[in-house]
Each structure stands twice: as structure tokens, then as C-alpha cells.
Amino acid sequence: MDALSHLYDGFAIALTWQNLGLALIGCLLGTMIGALPGLGPANGVAILIPLAFSLGLPATPALILLTSVYYGAMYGGRISSILLNIPGDEPALMTTLDG
């Protein structure tokens, strides 16, 4: 039963309005960064680390922002590989052939 209370506490922290808003903003920024050819998820996270630091975010919201940027950039890399036939990052290389 102790594990369920820890799981509940984790969901209570992750599902606050601030963290959900940061996840949405991070996904949108990550999609825009990932859609640019040559910029992948690692570059997107590296670009936005100073933003997370300058906003003065605590550890949990900063990690939520950076991981949502990472996953948004993974999705955004597929956009340029499908539409422009230019892979945005390495995993999207085969998507240029499949479409």
C-alpha cells in the first residue's frame, strides 16, 4: 500500500496546472525545433536549458519542460522527413523513404 501512496503523490505533483502548462509549452517548442532540419531532440534540450535556468524553475517543472521538449522534437523531426524528405534527426532517416 505504500507504493500506491507514492504513486498518488507523484501524480499529484505532475498534474498541477503549472506542470501541465510547461509540458504543453515544451511540446510545442520541441515540435518547432524538431521540424527544423538538422536540429534534433538533444539540440532542442541544449537550447532550452538556459531558458529553464533563467525562469528559476524548481527541479521537477524544469525536468518536465525539458523532457516534453525532447519528445516534441522527436515528433517534429518526422515532419521535415515526411514533407521535405530531409530527416530532422537520425531516427527519422528511414521515414524519408517510407513517408
Residue 20 lies in a domain: no
Residue 66 lies in a domain: yes
Residue 93 lies in a domain: yes
Residue 57 lies in a domain: yes
Find the domain containing 54 and state its range: 29-98
pLDDT attached to residue 79:
84
- Listed in sequence order, the residues at least 6 apart from 9 whose beta carbon sits closer than 8 Å to its beta carbon are none
pLDDT attached to residue 31:
93
pLDDT at 28 over 90: yes
pLDDT attached to residue 34:
87
State the pLDDT confidence band at 84, using cuts at 50, 70 and 90: confident
Residue 9 lies in a domain: no
Residue 73 lies in a domain: yes
Q: What is the pLDDT of residues 45-75, one digit of tens each?
A: 999 999 889 989 999 999 999 999 999 999 9
Rounded to 5°, the CA angle 79-55-21 comes to 50
Domain count, the chain: 1
